[in-house]
Structures are given as structure tokens and as C-alpha cells.
Structure 1
Amino acid sequence: MAPPGLPGGVFDSRSGKGNAMAFGFRLPWHGEARTHPSRMRAPAAKSWLPGALAALSADAGAQWSSRSYPAMSREGFMRNPVAHRATRMIAEAAASVPWLVFDGGREQERHPVLDLLQRPDPNGAGDGFFETLYGHLVLSGNAWINPVSAGGHLAGLQLLRPDRMRVIEGGDGWPAAYEHQAGGRRQRFAVSPEEGPGLLHLKLFHPLDDHLGFAPLEAALMALDLHNAAMSWNKALLDNSARPSGALVYQPKEGGNLTPEQYERLKAELEDGYQGARRAGRPMLLEGGLDWKAMGLTPRDMDFIEAKNGAARDIALALGVPPMLLGIPGDLTYANYQEANRAFCRLTVLPLVHRTAAALTAWLQQVYGAGLKIDYDADRLPGLSAERDGLWARVGAADFLTDEEKREAVGYQRVAG
């Protein structure tokens, strides 16, 4: 289909040649269109013959976005509403889960690690820190935490942006160091420093990379580009009288050519008089020998709406967010919103939090001893309130359990006596 919103080139129905470069497009069946741009020949002079056709054409072939972290962030989180909302839902829900700290098997109400997790950055609360951390994992598959020491003890945590990090391999192929580059400066971190914990590298599973994780959003890259292209196509359609482009057929009764002045005037009239949403529906005035032929497929023919919704569902699927929670029509996987929200918490949010808790535990045990364990309170998630109420009802009705056993069954510690 011809790309909307741009005037086409000129095609000679007699010779099969055209002046496509006059409008900035190359005809795909020309040999020049398949050569490298640096070797493109200059366009020939305008040649209008009887039966000439002003048509729209562009090079065939899909163009996909880069898989780098900046490109994924721009095209996904910063430009696509589905990916933006899904990423925020995951990061905000995971960051809202409260942390629990156990030492020697008992929950601690006050502990340096608990203070560190609640306020890892002196300039902000823990929710914002972990929201950024989970966002890094979703958009890049990797997250790096740098420990900040003060007075000989661990005083804070610092997140390092994934696109500024580089893994330096040793002679055996395993990571020997991490390098951070920002502001023209490079800083190298040892994988196993002699004193204190080194950088904590959290990563998601990647089947083809030994050192870096795979971003969930990268699996939806084609759907992401398709959804963005659909919105751009729709915008261009509105900018061009809300209709697909077509062709101007020049077939004078008595032979002859359009002069360069007539060609430029026709081009200017099309651009100034019939493009734009405010000019939608304006009748076109054609002089003798000119006829308008529609050549583009309509949105109905392309099943435009369903294609866009299908791309949105693929993006939500890759990120693990039920489409129902994003308001995407056509998804009947869950009976109601409550079931979809519960599945989102159980299948997407909690596994991410559990992975982070396990990594933080192993990392901070180097400082606070092997008895340290970092856990989380899943009962505080609003999406799991129905499960919590059902568990409490079942345990409360179990007459064969003692009060201490009931407390342990619902996740509370035993109380002496």
C-alpha cells in the first residue's frame, strides 16, 4: 500500500519509466532502488507523456527498531502507551510490596538492612528506588546496584543505568570486572572485591548470553513497532484528508505534455489545498485531461483496528500483564477484573520480587552474616486480598489446629506461651 500523507512520483504508462524522485520516493521495480544510497544516480529531468500517472511508491521491506536499551526505552516506555502502562504497573506493584528482614530465623522489627531497604537513597524513599530497579529489569533485563559505604559501614544503595554498563570478560570467558561510563569518565568495579560486597548484578534469563539478561519487552519488539506504526499511519491519514492516497492520471485527448510550470503548480495545489484535517472532504477541481484514481487500501480492508489490538495484546503478553487490565478489547482469558489482577500479582509481580529478595539476601549476607534473610509480605498486595480472606477463613475454621499453628499457617510467628 502506498504510504499516506505524501505525494507520489510520476509513472509513464508507455515506457514503464518514471520520475519518482520528484517527490522523494523511488519506484521499487527500478534497478536504482536496489542499489546503495551512496551509489544512487541523479534523477532524470521531468518527462510528462500522454498517459502519465502520478503515483505513490516506497521501498518494500519492514523496518524494525534497534534492540538497545535507549531504543527500547524511547520506542516502548516513552512512546507506546501500552508498553508504558504495562511497565509502570509491574514496577509500581512490585515496589509496593513491603520487605521483611529475618535474622537467626526470627523477624526483625528494627534492623540496619530494613532501614537500608526502606531508604536506600538518602534523597528518596525505597519505593522510588525499587520502581526504577524493576523498570531496568523490564526494559533491559539487567539491573546493577552499587553499594555506598560511609564510616566503614553500608550507608546506601545506588542504581547504575544498564546502557552505561559493560561486562569485561577474563581469560576464561567469565566476567572479570564491570565498567561504568558516564560524563566522559569510566569507572571499573571488580567482580569480587577484597573488601565488602561488589556490584550486585540482577539479570533475567537469556538463552544466548552468559553475562547479560534478556528484556521482556524485547520479545515484543515487532508488535511494538507494529503498534507504533499503526498510530503513525492513523495520524498521517488524518493529516491527508482522512483518506488513502491515490493517483492523478493525465490522459489528454490531443497528446502533449505537462510543462514544468504546470507540474509545479499541480504539485503545490495538491499540497496546499487538499492535505490536512481541516481540508477533509474538500472536492478536488481537476483540469482537462486529469482524473483521480484511488489506489490505497482502506483501514477496513486492512482490518486496521484488529491488527492494532492484536499488537497491543502481544506487548501485554510479553510483559506478563493481562490485556484486560490495560483496557485492550477482545481478551476473555479471565472471567473478571479481579481474577486478572490476581493472576498478574501471582505470575508477574511476585516472581520478580522473589528473585530480587533472593539476590539481595545472598549479597548482603557478605556483610551481615549467613543468618540474614530478606523476605516480602505478599499479603499487602491489594490484588491478593481475596486469596488472603479465603486463607484466613479456612484456617479459622480448622478446629484441629491450635492458635499457634494457625498463626504459623497464615505467616505469623509463634508467640511464646
Structure 2
Amino acid sequence: MAAGIVNIRRDVEDKFYRYRMPLLTTKIEGKGNGIKTVLPNMTDVARALSRPPTFPTKFFGCELGAQTTFDEKNERYIVNGAHDANRLRELLDVFIDKFVLCKSCKNPETELVIIKQGRTEDIIRDCKACGERTGVDMRHKLTTFILKNPPVKIKKGKNRTGAGDAAAGIGGGSPDNGDEEIDDGAESDDMLTRKIKAEAKELNTDTALAKEDWSADTSADAVKERMKALEGAMNNARLNGDDEGSDDEVNSPYAVLGQWVAENRDPDDPKSFSIAIFKKAEELGIEKKHKSVLVLTQALFTLEIVDEVPKYQALFAKMITSEKHQKAMLGGIERLVGMTYPDLLASVPKILMALYQADVLEEEVIVNWGTHVSKKYTDKETSKMVRKASEPFLKWLAEADDEDSE
């Protein structure tokens, strides 16, 4: 997990837990009676929680007995007094438990709903994961503030609450398995667009990636034996079937696999490491599962993914046996680029080119993925951002098809 990003449920140690948020940061300003604690990234934290940033900020004030001020236009949120960052993070965990997590399934995919019963009003958490509606403790002082400043309903049928459309946030993917298409022609930031186009200019079919021969023997007997073992193990497996369970579950076999890969990484010998990975997946009984591909994409690749794709080409070529597996890999790329390594955003065209030339991903699957924003693996904003970055490669595919037809 990248520095600065933590699981929304910080008691969950699974690196591949879907729901994530930025680590709350603080900044002390002023002196004497005018000293205050500024929360520079409260907007981003609240967006990940699908709550208005005023809610957790006001919660801090209630718990600390301190005044709070909000400047929503400039995204400036302040708690009077000097407060330790770790203390505020602990209080944020309490806020999440009381006002975000479903009381039944502990999933953060909830929205706050105000229900009027006569002269009284209650606040409940409506969970989009399990369907349960559980109440919050109405004795807490924050409930008075929420009733006076009710959460804004997201338009266009989105099952989120918070400050406008920005409530979608980091790591918030929906619990359902359906893909949702969004017709949104909004342009990305000019600087990002220029950077992406610059990367796209380097795309061509004669790139070194196309010439890389994964199976080439280095003449070392040990390498021959390792490759033979890898091919034998994979050819004997029927890599098909649907997944059971969720990669969000704590201590799930997928989490165990991802953790094992992260702890046993051997960048100097990717071929023998591929054998070990497959055997570990077999041991866990998930060598046929598409979610194994999702987790491996996140666990294996780093900022050097373009150079790493050919090294693990044989492993993925054998494990990816259906369109569902390919979509899982693309979902892993979304999480890797959108959450773990944002600096890779401009390299998305190169990443897709590497996977395409390695015969891991098919053109039709890539095109369909690139034109349909989905909330299955990340929040919609992240999904849209990654697909926007892929446009140069999609354009390259289209132009290549046109040349072929001519």
C-alpha cells in the first residue's frame, strides 16, 4: 500500500482491502490563545468516507471540547487548539465506527438517512452492501449538527451521500458486481493530458516489449528446470471457474496470497518466483480464480510495471483463461494506478501496450473496458481517471485496425 493511504477499517490489515482513504494529516498554526490545528486533507478523507468534511471535523470538536471552523469554498477545516495527529486519527476511527460502518456487516458502503417520526428525528445508516438499516447513537452531540446540516443526496441515482458528486472518493467501490456505464465527456487536467500524449508518442509495434522473448533460455540448466516445472504445473491445471467469497474478507485466501507475494518477492529470479506463486495459489485452492489475477496484479507489479510485465508473462498467460480473468487484471491495474501508484497514471498507455503485446489482454476486452466506466474495482472517479489516461492507447488500437482494413 502506498504511503499515505490506509484502510478505512484500520483494524483490517489486508493490503488488498477495497475500502481505503488518505491518512489524515494535521498542521499546527498560530500561537498562544490563537493556536489551531488545520486539517489539510480533510476533504479527501471525507470523500473516501462519503461524508461531508464538516461531519468528522465537527466530531473532533465534540470529542475534544473545542471549537471548529469550516471554509468549504477553500476546503479549509480547523479545530481550535493544538492536537496530536495520532489522537485525531484515533478519533476518526471512532467517527467511522459510529457514523460510517454498517453495524451489521461493518462495511463502509453506507449513506446517512434522516427519518422523521412525529416530532422526533432519527439518523440511520443505510447499508448498500447487506441492505441493513442500523441507527446511530442519537445521544452524541454530532447528531444535532447532522440534523441541522443533513447530508446532500447524490443525484443521478448514485448510492452515496456527502458533499456533492465528490463523495465517491478513494477506494469506495460498490459491493455489487455489475458494471455501470457513465456518459461523461469531461476533459482531464491539461497538464495530465499533455503528459499522457507525450507517453503515447512512444507507442509503436516495434517497441522492445514486442521483441522480448519470455521463454528464451539463458542456457543455465537451473533455469531450464524451473521453466519446465512451471509449464508442467500450469498445464496440468484447469484454470477456469467462478470465484467464491470476497477479496475484501479479512484473512481470505486472496489476502493470504497477496501478503505472501509481497513478503517473498524475488525480483532477481522472476521465473522461479512464478513457479512458487502458482504453487502457493494451488495450496490455497484459488489457482483457477479470476480474483487471484486481481490480487497478483496488485501484489506483483510496482512502479516498474512496464519492465515487469514480460518477466511474469508466462504466469499470467496461463492463469488468464477467460474474459472474466482479463477484466480482473484490468481491475487490478485500476487499483494499482488509481490508488497505490498515482504517478503511473501517465504511463497507462505503455502498461496496456505491454500487456497487449504479451498476449495477456485481448483488444476487444481492452476497448470495452476503456469505454465503460465501472465502480466494480474502484470508485467511479478513479475508474474514469484511469480510463481517460488510456485514451492514447485506445486511439492507437483504432488506427491500427483502420490501417489493417485499408
Higher strand share: 1
Task: Kindly indicate which of the two structures has a greater share of residues assigned to helix.
Answer: 2
TM class, shorter-chain normalised?
A: under 0.3
TM-score (norm 2): 0.20
TM-score (normalised: structure 1): 0.20
